Amino acid sequence: MTRFWWVRHGPTHQNTFVGWRDVPADLSDREAIARLDAHLPKAAKLISSDLARAVTTADAIAAGRSRLAHDAGLREFDFGLWDGMRFGDVAARDPDLSRAFWEAPGDVAPPGGESWNDVQARIGPVVANLGQRHIGQDIIIVAHIGVIMTQIQAASEMTAKEVLAHRIDNLSVTRLDLHDGGWSIKAINHQP
């Protein structure tokens, strides 16, 4: 069995869409970082998205773990023209499109951005490669809310819309286990 420990990066304090914009994480809550570190397996491989908020979060829990190179394939959704916009401004600018993006996730994409299915197609091979290279090991992946949600869907029979009903808080752990070609969900949004 290969265990994937998905960690959402530290908070960014942004009140806007944050996709590929490289904004920093606030890692000042040292107690939360210490609890997260203690909860995760020490012998795990550790990888992150190449965006600063994921890299610095991974660096904060890297001690004693084998750090793998950052991977751009683990980036958050590319929100295109919406990146940096407030949610209300997006709804005013693109009312039908923004509603469809949340209510019928799949092929709907922001202008110049990625759809749910695009992100699934980008991340799936990264996860498959990690699983093949590190069979039977623990793999900690520090990534983003959208990335983690797409993987919950990949590991379950939930629709994308059902997955969007889940919370994925900053510094939370979602554990997905791969065994005999199948997935099992062990935890979603666990707060260490």
The CATH number of the domain where 163 resides is what?
3.40.50.1240
Model pLDDT for residues 63-82, shown as the tens digit of each residue? 999 999 999 999 999 999 99
Note the pLDDT of residue 24: 97
Q: Given this model, what pLDDT does residue 118 score?
A: 97
Position 106 scores a pLDDT of 93
CA distances from 147 to 12, 30, 136, 141, 143 (A): 16, 25, 22, 10, 7
Residue 180, pLDDT score: 86
pLDDT at 94: 97
pTM for this prediction: 0.95
H-state helical runs in 105-157 = 116-133, 145-154
Euclidean distance between CA atoms 61 and 39, whole angstroms: 10
- Percent of the chain clearing pLDDT 70 (strictly above): 100
What residues make up the domain containing 62?
2-190
Look at the chain and report how many structural domains it folds into: 1
Condensed to tens digits (0 to 9), the pLDDT of residues 81-116 reads 999 999 999 999 999 999 999 999 999 999 999 999
> Which residues of the chain carry a pLDDT beneath 70?
none
Q: Which of 128-134's residues contact partners 24+ apart within 8 Å by CB, and which partners?
A: 130/4, 130/45, 130/47, 131/2, 131/4, 131/178, 134/2, 134/45
d(CA 190, CA 168): 9
